[in-house]
Amino acid sequence: MELVKNVVCPFCGTLCDDIVCKVENNEIVGTINACRIGHSKFVHTEGAMRWKKPMIRQGDEFVETTYDDAIEKAAHVLADAKRPLMYGWSCTDCDAQAVGVELAEETGAVIDNTASVCHGPSVLALQDVGYPICTFGEVKNRADVVVYWGCNPMHAHPRHLSRNVFSRGFFRERGRADRTLVVVDPRKSDSSKLADVHLQLDFDKDYELLDAIRTVVRGKDILYDEVAGIPREQIYEVAEVLKNAQFGILFFGMGITHSRGKHRNIDTAICLVQELNDYSKWTLIPMRGHYNVTGFNQVCTWESGYPYCVDFSTGEPRYNPGETGANDLLQNKEADAMMVIASDPGAHFPQNAIMRMAEIPVIAIEPHRTPTTEMADVIIPPAIVGMEAEGTAYRMEGVPIRMRKVVDSDLLTDKQILERIRDRVKELQASK
Amino acid sequence: MQKIIKNGMIYDPLNNIDGEKMDICIDNGKIVDSVANDAEVIDASGKIVMAGGVDPHTHIAGAKVNVGRMYRPEDSKRDVMARGGGMRAGSGFSVPSTFMTGYRYAQMGYTTAMEAAMPPLLARHTHEEFHDMPIIDHAAFPLFGNNWFIMKYLKEGDLDKTAAYSAWLLRATKGYAIKIVNPAGTEAWAWGGNVHGINDPVPYFDVTGADIIKGLAEVNEMLGLPHAIHLHCNDLGHPGNYETTIASFDIPKNIVPKPKYGHRDKILYATHVQFHCYGGTNWRDFVSAAPKVADYVNKSDHIVIDIGQVTLDETTTMTADGPMEYDLHSLNGLKWANCDVEMETGSGVVPFIYAARAPVPASQWGVGMELFLEIKDPRKICLTTDSPNAGPFTRYPRVMAWLMSNKYRMNLIENELHKWAQTKTTVATLDREYSLYEIAQVTRATSAKVLGLSDTKGHLGVGADADIAVYDINPETQDLSAEYMAVEKAFSNAAYVLKDGEIVVLDGTMVKPDLYGRTYWINTKYKPEVEQEVLVDVEKWFRQYYSVNFENYPVQEDYIPRSVPLLGDSVPGEASGKEPAIEGASK
């Protein structure tokens, strides 16, 4: 058995880069350091069915085919479409994403990633009021007050707490004991159990609570006995904890980006962090989900100027979330073809969007059998980045790390598949 | 393919050529003595010819640059380009997308540009953006001035270890020079503080800005780096900061330059000095101290500065000077972005509107112009706007036109600028006008030389890279002082631009947009036995305090497809065989 060290985990936005993979006969048979989710991604626990060959739908059946045929079909679908949509991108590497942006330009497509159904509201908020962040190491070395708002890292980012909060840092030699941990969540969760302070607010009242804390931080009084189900006195106490931090950090997740208020919640959370800097040092970090969802926003921004929801139908990049998002195009029945890569909208999109997906040709570049591939017309399986292929990914706060290749695969990479589609689309466009 | 540029008027300060009519011969991407009779002829009659522009300080690639793009869709909307003519689509006025950045530089006749601030932990990001930036040769300067290892070794007084660590960090990040930003101040900002002046110690590490500047200036020469230390002084933007500025300039003056590559003869490169020339104690009694700083520079031989000229635009400020950006946000109330980077540095981004009618921006415009006009020797000046901080790089042609025309400046001062430009600065009393020779000096020659790249860049002598700009300006028939708008237009849209001997721009239009430039970086080691000791420290701190593993930190060679390492085994121009073949270097 061979041990491959310093492997980067292709699961969540924590992007742990200290995984050891146990390899036997070109297969990953075990891991060290990975969390349970990461481990199961590496070793393919039962239940995950891998596509080994490209497939094309014929009636109700999928028929095995070659890469050449699948790519030819995909290129025709995209070249013939009037308003193609390219969605996903968050579980592949930046080089593939870059080819994707070029392909979107070439076909006049709308390109969007999973941010539009997770931290899209955070993007809108940072475009409104700003984006004060730091890297993980700053949290580990300095943070004495840590807030998790609307997220449950023990389940969704299992090593986030152990790497950043429980671990000992340069100025926090006792690790967890040197920090005050605040969890804000309407539910009791495995994360809230670990907290020093659990603010169990009323569901959908995040904005109210944030606003009340801001009020106190700004030296004004709260005129009610309780806000969002939290007693007035406790809000004052928490505001004091936040103001007296030496270094505070706010991690926030989808419990606040997608509850009532959406980007307005994040607006006011960012403003709170900015105001706390009048008293101490505060920054925030969005708890991004897919391991490279951040990377797509980076690539799409440096190539087009906008992070997601980019419409190339006029040749120029246009950005108007609410009009140019994946769900907008599907639910408005604008999209007449869709390419899905490195994500599973079939499992996660609303019913109306799924109904449109069922009506139009769908190309899925996807390693596993998923609800999306069930609806697809063409399935093109890639090698999995981080296990069978190299590439760059950006951690949730923007630290770029090189994903390692651990085992070999006969499959093409996402990047190679996209390059071949792009080249073929160019030929088709030229012959029009 | 051989080419010859015929009958142009040549402005080439590094070779003392001031407007002579000469032919430039090109073979295999280089400038040569002569070419065969069937060489392609480029007719430059009635036009001027300069080496490709060299921008020594700009922010075009990397984490904070991309935050500037991402969080300002309102800026992206102001300048949008469609795909076409082989060009990629893009957007962004003050912070253009990567492809657009390459095209826009090339259209102005610039062929080399340096990213002036690269957080080491995020170096891979900068290189990824370079990968998507056509035409221009480039390099990036990693940030050293608030790095924990640097501060620790300097505190211990161990210059050997500081040098060995610095060499390792340049290799690990594929960086080019030692960049220092608000030394000690950005580390203080990690606790929400700042330092004031050069003698204020940083919390815990207990070294001062002065210690850091002096230590790193010595290390720079111990390593023999091509470029000087690249310093962004403390107290940026504060009234009264000129004393800090002059004191900072004075720190390294007795060190002797010893570059192992190139022909640099200066010890210190001070950047965007316009922001560091303020007198008074607050914005009410503020007055320009540019004459004092210019006087210091006039009397000193160890320093080169760039200006950071305010262009009176709405723009996006971005810097590793984290506390400064927070102060700016507190001042103008516009959205604040920040990124503190563990063990190394920080950064901030804030939009800013330099309105001509507002008192402070008008004065800042005047301060920059005072520096340009009062420093006598243009060999000590580089033209920059600290793009996009004082204005986007696409305004360089306007700055050139201002420098060449007192009339242009007076029109602005009398009709558009707030009166503070006249009452707080002396700019209205200065009628000096730059010649084309001086423009070539401050946009190409000074920068190429102080970067250590003047063997191949910044001039038109035999052996130089054939990076050449031909502008539709005729000093024999035009009064350049009076026809300033024509000058601005000509510098904005070069008649021809050649990159490595290929015509990439014709009449201001990109004709070969898929050519990609080189990445320069420093491949050096300082005393291998000391480096061994240092790496023991580094690995230990990585295990305990970094959030990435040591083995995953260095930027892999895969990120540098057109790599030009300097100082190590291979030096371009020598028979090392490692100079990448640029011909057909498109991706």
The number of CA neighbours under 13 Å toward the Cβ of B162 is 28
- CB count within 10 Å of CB A420 equals 20
Nearest to B150 by CA among B132, B165, B138: B165
pTM over 0.80: yes
State the average pLDDT over residues A137-162.
97
Contact yes or no for A149/A252 (Cβ under 8 A): yes
Please write the tens of the pLDDT for every residue from A122-139. Answer: 999 999 999 999 999 999
Contact yes or no for B520/B176 (Cβ under 8 A): yes
Sheet order of strands, B229-232 included: B179-181, B229-232, B268-270, B303-306, B381-382
Contact yes or no for B457/B112 (Cβ under 8 A): yes
A143 interaction partners in chain B (CB closer than 8 Å):
none
Please write the tens of the pLDDT for every residue from A339-394. Answer: 999 999 999 999 999 999 999 999 999 999 999 999 999 999 999 999 999 999 99
DSSP B66-107: HHHHHT-HHHHTTSEE-SBTTBPPEE-SSS--HHHHHHHHHH
Contact yes or no for A48/A397 (Cβ under 8 A): no
Query: What is the model's pLDDT at position A46?
Result: 61
Dist CA B456 CA B549 (whole Å): 38
The encoded tokens of residue B515 equal: 């050519």
Confidence of residue B576 (pLDDT cuts 50, 70, 90): very low
A274 interaction partners in chain B (CB closer than 8 Å):
329, 336
The shortest C-alpha distance from A225 to chain B (Å) reads 33
Task: Identify the closest residue of chain A to B133 by CA–CA distance.
Answer: A303
Per-residue pLDDT at B107 exceeds 50:
yes
Task: Identify the closest residue of chain B to A280 by CA–CA distance.
Answer: B192
The encoded tokens of residue A397 equal: 């706060």
Please write the tens of the pLDDT for every residue from B279-325. Answer: 999 999 999 999 999 999 999 999 999 999 999 999 999 999 999 99
In terms of Cβ atoms closer than 10 Å to its own Cβ (0-12, 13-18, 19+), residue A94 is buried
State the average pLDDT over residues B560-582.
61
Mean pLDDT for all residues in chain A: 97
- CB count within 10 Å of CB A351 equals 7
Confidence of residue B418 (pLDDT cuts 50, 70, 90): very high
Q: Indicate yes or no: CB of A398 within 8 angstroms of CB of B69.
A: no
User: Which residue in A129, A303, A401 is closest to B97 by CB distance?
Assistant: A303
B67 interaction partners in chain A (CB closer than 8 Å):
131
Whether omega for the bond prior to residue B388 falls within 30 degrees of 0, making it cis, is yes
Pairing of strands B519-522, B563-566: parallel
Contact yes or no for A66/A91 (Cβ under 8 A): no
Contacts of residue B453, defined as CB under 8 A and 6 or more positions apart, other chains included, come to B54, B112, B226, B262, B520
Dist CA A190 CA B298 (whole Å): 66
Q: Indicate yes or no: CB of B549 within 8 angstroms of CB of A130.
A: no
Contact yes or no for A199/A209 (Cβ under 8 A): yes
- Max distance between CA atoms of chain A, in angstroms, equals 72
Dist CA B160 CA B145 (whole Å): 17
A308 interaction partners in chain B (CB closer than 8 Å):
none
B128 interaction partners in chain A (CB closer than 8 Å):
94, 299, 302, 392, 400
Q: Indicate yes or no: CB of A394 within 8 angstroms of CB of B125.
A: yes
Nearest to B395 by CA among B505, B484, B491: B491
Per-residue pLDDT at B572 exceeds 90:
no
Query: What is the model's pLDDT at position B587?
Result: 39
Confidence of residue A7 (pLDDT cuts 50, 70, 90): very high
Q: Indicate yes or no: CB of A127 within 8 angstroms of CB of B340.
A: no
The encoded tokens of residue B398 equal: 């306007």
Dist CA B135 CA B99 (whole Å): 9
Reduced 3-state DSSP string for chain A: CEEEEEECCCCECCCCCCEEEEEECCEEEEEECCCHHHHHHHHCCCCCCECCCCEEEECCEEEECCHHHHHHHHHHHHHHCCCEEEEECCCCCHHHHHHHHHHHHHHCCEEEEHHHHCCHHHHHHHHHHEEEEECHHHHHHHCCEEEEECCCHHHHCCCHHHHHHHCCECCECCHHHHCEEEEECCCCCCCHHHCCEEECCCCCCHHHHHHHHHHHHCCCCCCCCEECCEEHHHHHHHHHHHHCCCEEEEEECHHHHCCCCCHHHHHHHHHHHHHHCCCCEEEEEECCCECCHHHHHHHHHHHHCCCCCEECCCCCCEECCCCCCHHHHHHCCCCCEEEEECCCHHHHCCHHHHHHHHHCCEEEECCECCHHHHCCCEEECCCCECCCECEEEECCCCCEEEECCCCCCCCCCHHHHHHHHHHHHHHHHHCC
Element at B218 (helix H, strand E): helix B209-223
Query: What is the model's pLDDT at position B103?
Result: 98
Mean pLDDT for all residues in chain B: 95
- What's the angle, vertex CA B512, arms to CA B507 and CA B518, rounded to 5? 115
Dist CA B273 CA B282 (whole Å): 18
The encoded tokens of residue B459 equal: 């001039």
Reduced 3-state DSSP string for B35-48: CCCCCEEEECCCCE
The encoded tokens of residue A231 equal: 């007693």
Please write the tens of the pLDDT for every residue from A31-77. Answer: 999 999 999 999 986 667 999 999 999 999 999 999 999 999 999 99
Pairing of strands B3-12, B17-27: antiparallel
Distance of CA A57 to the CA centre of its chain: 30
User: Which residue in B88, B96, B556 is closest to A402 by CB distance?
Assistant: B556
Per-residue pLDDT at B31 exceeds 60:
yes
User: Which residue in A138, A305, A400 is closest to B76 by CB distance?
Assistant: A305
Tell me, what amino acid is at B174?
Answer: K
Please write the tens of the pLDDT for every residue from B174-196. Answer: 999 999 999 999 999 999 999 99
Please write the tens of the pLDDT for every residue from B66-97. Answer: 999 999 999 999 999 999 999 999 999 999 99
Dist CA A171 CA A182 (whole Å): 20
Place of tokens 């495995």: A190
Please write the tens of the pLDDT for every residue from A180-199. Answer: 999 999 999 999 999 999 99
Per-residue pLDDT at B468 exceeds 50:
yes
Nearest to A9 by CA among B465, A27, A32: A32
B72 interaction partners in chain A (CB closer than 8 Å):
127
Dist CA A189 CA A185 (whole Å): 8
Dist CA A62 CA A171 (whole Å): 58
The encoded tokens of residue B364 equal: 């800042």
DSSP B189-203: HTTT----STT-PPT
Query: What is the model's pLDDT at position B580?
Result: 40
Contact yes or no for A358/A349 (Cβ under 8 A): no
State the average pLDDT over residues B421-445.
98
Dist CA B213 CA B301 (whole Å): 18
Q: Indicate yes or no: CB of B92 within 8 angstroms of CB of A305.
A: yes
DSSP B166-189: HHHHHHHHT--S-EEESTTHHHHH
- Strand ranges (E), B293-412: 303-306, 314-319, 336-340, 348-353, 381-382
- Strand ranges (E), B101-259: 110-118, 137-142, 179-181, 229-232
The shortest C-alpha distance from A248 to chain B (Å) reads 10
CA B110 to each of CA A92, A307, B135, B530: distance values in angstroms, whole numbers, following the listed order: 35, 28, 9, 40
Dist CA A50 CA B430 (whole Å): 74
Confidence of residue B571 (pLDDT cuts 50, 70, 90): very low
User: Which residue in B70, B84, B342 is closest to A307 by CB distance?
Assistant: B70
Task: Identify the closest residue of chain A to B121 by CA–CA distance.
Answer: A399
User: Which residue in B128, B342, B558 is closest to A135 by CB distance?
Assistant: B342
Helix and strand counts by DSSP (H, E) for chain B: 19, 26
Q: Indicate yes or no: CB of A304 within 8 angstroms of CB of B89.
A: yes
For an interface test with A, the pick among B59, B64, B121, B342 (most A C-beta atoms closer than 10 Å) comes out as B342
Pairing of strands B509-510, B90-91: unpaired
Q: What is the ipTM of this complex?
A: 0.97
User: Which residue in B82, B125, B338 is closest to A316 by CB distance?
Assistant: B82
- CB count within 10 Å of CB A173 equals 9
- CB count within 10 Å of CB B449 equals 26
State the average pLDDT over residues A264-288.
97
Q: DSSP label at B158?
A: -
In terms of Cβ atoms closer than 10 Å to its own Cβ (0-12, 13-18, 19+), residue B369 is buried
Dist CA B142 CA B177 (whole Å): 7
Per-residue pLDDT at B570 exceeds 50:
no
Per cent of chain B over pLDDT 90 is: 96
Confidence of residue A312 (pLDDT cuts 50, 70, 90): very high
User: Which residue in B90, B326, B547 is closest to A136 by CB distance?
Assistant: B547
Nearest-10 Cα torsion for B108, B110, B116, B119: 90
> How far from each other are the two terminal CA atoms of chain B, in whole angstroms?
20
